Amino acid sequence: MGFTIAVAGKGGTGKTTLSALVIRYLKRKSEGPILAVDADPNANLGEALGLEVRETVGRVCDEMLEGAKIPPGMPKDTFMEYRIQETLIESGGYDLLVMGRPEGPGCYCYANTLVRKYIDMLSGNYKYLVMDNEAGMEHLSRRTTRNVDILILVSDPALRGIRTAQKLSDLADELRLGIGRRGLVINRVAGDLQPALGQEAEKLKLELLGVVPEDQLIHEYELGGKSLLDLPEDSPSVEVVRGMMENIGLA
């Protein structure tokens, strides 16, 4: 199993952007191969990476529920693994798997075991696994191997956001995830960080991994439909993420 980096936070904090910047760092360091997993139902990681997403694991689950035609003699689990493999988007230095939003009720109840078995098997082929999670971290809890080397909790520059990050940290413990290290990233900070925010993080015993400033380049790239992987080295957000990753020990 590769080194697992899980990114979590409530909607609107920029966790998908941060996930893309983490992937960018690892890719530039030639630290691959990297498996990126978009486990947020909103599924925006592909767009941030400049990839077109046509298939998701959720759609494969729906197909199975709707009675997909399985070739004669092929076991159902083998066919499903084959279809999930088809959803994998291969790119230079990293691959992307998009979980998507299952449309059929009970889809994951039906396909859960096969999906998590396949993802765990797939993860073993990569040096790094970067997961962009939904707030509930359901996909992390469904993995057979629940170990997470580092959980990055993303907050906006607000007390409520930091308290939400703490709740997500508590949720990770409730889900019995084996987390090696966890820390807070405060994102989209205009100017200096307000002392009250740093004090709140300290009070809640959240290690502050980084403070990412508002970055006009990111806004320009997103508006232009450009991949965040192509951001220049002197981008303010790129510089902060580089320092953060080096602090984590991934220099």
Enumerate the β-bridge partners of residue 147.
Answer: 178
Enumerate the β-bridge partners of residue 3.
Answer: 128
Indicate the SS3 state at residue 239: helix
pLDDT at 109 over 60: no
DSSP 92-161: TTEEEEE-----STTHHHHHHHHHHHHHHHHHTT-SEEEEEE-TT-HHHHH-SS-EEEEEEEEE-SSHHH
**Rounded distance, CA 76 to CA 84, Å?**
12
Identify the structural domains of the chain with CATH numbers, from first to last.
3-248 (3.40.50.300)
Exposure string over 84-102, b if 16+ CB within 10 A, otherwise e: beebebebeebbbbbbbeb
pLDDT at 250 over 70: yes
Torsional class of 100: left (φ above 0), alpha (ψ -120 to 50), beta (otherwise): left
pLDDT, position 76 = 82
In which band, very low, low, confident or very high, does the pLDDT at 78 lie, cut at 50, 70 and 90?
Answer: confident
Enumerate the β-bridge partners of residue 200.
Answer: none
pLDDT tens profile 189-243: 999 999 999 999 999 999 999 999 999 999 999 999 999 999 999 999 999 999 9
Does an H or E element contain 202, and which?
A: helix 195-203
pLDDT, position 34 = 95
| Number of Cβ atoms within 10 Å of the Cβ of 153 | 29
Closest CA to 62 of 24, 99, 8, 22: 99
Residues 6+ apart with CB under 8 A from 35: 2, 94, 95, 97, 122, 123, 125, 126, 128, 129, 130
Residues 6+ apart with CB under 8 A from 219: none
For the chain, give the mean pLDDT. 88
